[in-house]
């Protein structure tokens, strides 16, 4: 039997007092599900960027069709991180008198997408098809 205190994290503050923060399984499961969804979102981004130039609002709409409710506060930092990682390039264009950032997949992005497709196919066969 696992003791209940294993679900408690102790944090020491600067004056030496000790606080205990209870971490529920719901918080852990929710955080894990968010990480998984973010990985799927990144796959969508790479896939769509491999087909055509993409932009933020267009991606939010496209991902919404797949059931993801994504805010600009989540999407734009994700795009920026993917750009910094060398997976996407960014080009500013004027559309209807407004600046819009368009993203394109890079060679590294294509390589990563292809590697991820292999792993995704393998995972699908095992988890969904049971083979």
Instruction: Tally the domains of the chain.
Output: 1
Within a domain: 56: yes
Question: Which residues form the domain of 94?
Answer: 35-127
Q: Is residue 64 part of a domain?
A: yes
Let me know if residue 21 belongs to a domain.
no
**Is 74 part of any domain?**
yes
**Count of CB atoms within 10 A of residue 40's CB?**
14
For the stretch 123-130, contacts whose Cβ atoms lie closer than 8 Å and that sit 24 or more positions apart, written own/partner, are none
C-beta neighbour count of 60 within 10 angstroms: 17
**Residue 1 domain flag:** no
CATH number at residue 39: 1.10.10.10
Q: Which residues of 68-96 are buried (b: 16+ CB within 10 A; e: fewer)?
A: bebeeebbeebbeebbeeebbeeeeeeee
67 in a domain, yes or no?
yes
Summarised one tens digit per residue, pLDDT across range 25-53 is 677 788 899 899 999 999 999 999 999 99
For residue 11, being part of any structural domain is answered with: no
CB 129 within 8 Å of CB 56? no
Asked, for residue 119, whether it belongs to a domain, the answer is yes
User: pLDDT tens-digit profile of 79-116?
Assistant: 999 999 999 999 999 989 999 999 999 999 999 999 99
User: Does pTM top 0.95 for this prediction?
Assistant: no
Residue 87 Cα to chain centre, angstroms: 14
């Amino acid at each position: 039997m696992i003791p209940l205190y294993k679900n408690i994290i102790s944090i020491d503050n600067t004056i030496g007092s000790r606080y205990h923060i209870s971490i529920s399984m719901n918080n852990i499961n929710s955080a894990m599900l968010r990480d998984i969804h973010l990985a799927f979102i990144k796959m969508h981004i790479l896939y769509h960027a491999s087909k055509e130039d993409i932009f933020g609002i267009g991606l939010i709409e496209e991902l919404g069709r797949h059931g993801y409710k994504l805010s600009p506060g989540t999407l734009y930092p994700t795009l920026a991180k993917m750009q910094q990682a060398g997976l996407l390039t960014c080009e500013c264009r004027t559309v209807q008198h407004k600046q819009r950032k368009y993203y394109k997949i890079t060679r590294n992005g294509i390589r990563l997408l292809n590697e991820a497709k292999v792993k995704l196919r393998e995972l699908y066969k095992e988890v969904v098809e049971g083979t």
